[in-house]
Amino acid sequence: MKSFSIKNFFVGFSAIAVLLFLYFPLAVIVLFSFNADTVSSFPIKHFSLKWYSVLFSDVELLRSVGTSITIAVISTLIALIIGIPAAYTMHKYDFKGKKLIDKIVLMPITLPGIVTGVAMLSFFPFVGVKISLTAVAFGHVTFLCAIVVTQMLARFKRLDPYLEQAAYDLGATPSATFFKVILPNIKTAIIGCVLLCLVLSMDEIPVTFFLIAGNNTLPLEIYAMMRRGITPEVNAISTLIFIFSTAAILLSLKLNKEK
């Protein structure tokens, strides 16, 4: 019945054009990371891995990767420790102010990063957190809590309620039930959530921008490199980040779908 029509063609054509718009810039980065030339001009004359070797001998850049990984791991861990029990409590019990907590926890991702950033910059010193990498980690924990709580709440909702009941019936204490029954069942969701958190922390700029002192994180190091001028080294590091974060996100999406 449905055959070729100009309207269908037009919709398909514009949809694909938009998809191209979304992926063309990423393709450009990947492609030009193999460009031997110093300027990213069209057409590429020679291909080489030169910028990757420059990248791996750039001490500053490698150090920023280390800084970013450290911050990502620490803040993800703290966010999990704070977030999972909170999500569990919010799932299990009804209490006053639950809706409010729900709203507040999402604030760092719903409100503009700039305001969150300057707010933290102004207030952190009052609670003894100097503007430093520690402050950056604390800032990251705060927005990662939003991810952990929402992801885990969604997972708890899909959890079989009889599972917990059965554990209680068999005489398990609430903590034993949590650690021996609930936790193993949400393992894949936790791993998925960890991957999301790591990627988000590794990429975060607005909050980090205001809280950082001393060593740069990876995105801020790239930012500094960009301000100094365009260097194709950024193409190479961007390509690597793109590959790693895409792999992590796809894996995370897959894990979150599992029962």
Partner 1 sequence: MPLVIWLLIFLVFPYCYIFIQSFFETDNFGKTIPGVSLDSYKRAFSNSLYIGTIFRTLMYAVLVAIICILLSLPLAYWIAFKVKKNKTFMYTLIALPLWVSYIIRAYAWKIILGREGVLNTFFQWAHITDKPVEYFLYSTFSTIVCLVYILTPFVAIPIYTAFEQIPKSLIEAAKDLGAGSFTTFRKVVFPLALPGIISGGTFALVLTMGDFLSPLLLGGPNTLFISNIVQNLFGTSNDRPLGSAVGILILLLIFLIIAIAARAEKKYSSLKSNAR
What residues numbered 8-67 form the site for partner 1, per CB under 8 A? 8, 11-12, 14-16, 18-19, 21-26, 28-29, 32, 39-43
Smallest separation, CB 161 to partner 1 (Å): 22
Out of 51, 113, 155, 167, the residue judged to bind partner 1 by CB under 8 A: 113
Count of residues making up the chain = 259
What residues numbered 71-100 form the site for partner 1, per CB under 8 A? 81-83, 85-86, 89
Smallest separation, CB 58 to partner 1 (Å): 16
Smallest separation, CB 239 to partner 1 (Å): 9
Smallest separation, CB 171 to partner 1 (Å): 27
Q: Which two tokens stand for residue 228?
A: 């100094």
Amino acid at 244: F
Smallest separation, CB 156 to partner 1 (Å): 15
Smallest separation, CB 160 to partner 1 (Å): 25
Out of 170, 176, 183, 250, the residue judged to bind partner 1 by CB under 8 A: 250
What residues numbered 185-224 form the site for partner 1, per CB under 8 A? 199, 202-203, 205-206, 209-210, 219, 222-223
DSSP per-residue letters across the chain:
-----HHHHHHHHHHHHHHHHHHHHHHHHHHHTTB-SSS--SSP--B-SHHHHHHHT-HHHHHHHHHHHHHHHHHHHHHHHHHHHHHHHHHH---TTHHHHHHHHHHHHHS-HHHHHHHHHHHGGGGT--TTHHHHHHHHHHHHHHHHHHHHHHHHHHS-HHHHHHHHHTT--HHHIIIIIIHHHTHHHHHHHHHHHHHHHHH--HHHHHH--SSPPHHHHHHHHHHH---HHHHHHHHHHHHHHHHHHHHHHHHHH--
Closest-CA residue to 218 (of 71, 31, 53): 71
Smallest separation, CB 185 to partner 1 (Å): 21
- Look-up of token digits 């952190």: 124
What residues numbered 152-191 form the site for partner 1, per CB under 8 A? none
Out of 55, 61, 76, 108, the residue judged to bind partner 1 by CB under 8 A: 108
Closest-CA residue to 167 (of 158, 179, 151): 179
Nearest to partner 1 of 176, 250 (CB atom)? 250
What residues numbered 226-245 form the site for partner 1, per CB under 8 A? 226, 230, 234-235, 238, 241-242, 245
Is 123 one of the binding residues for partner 1 (CB under 8 A)?
yes
Out of 69, 119, 159, 190, the residue judged to bind partner 1 by CB under 8 A: 119
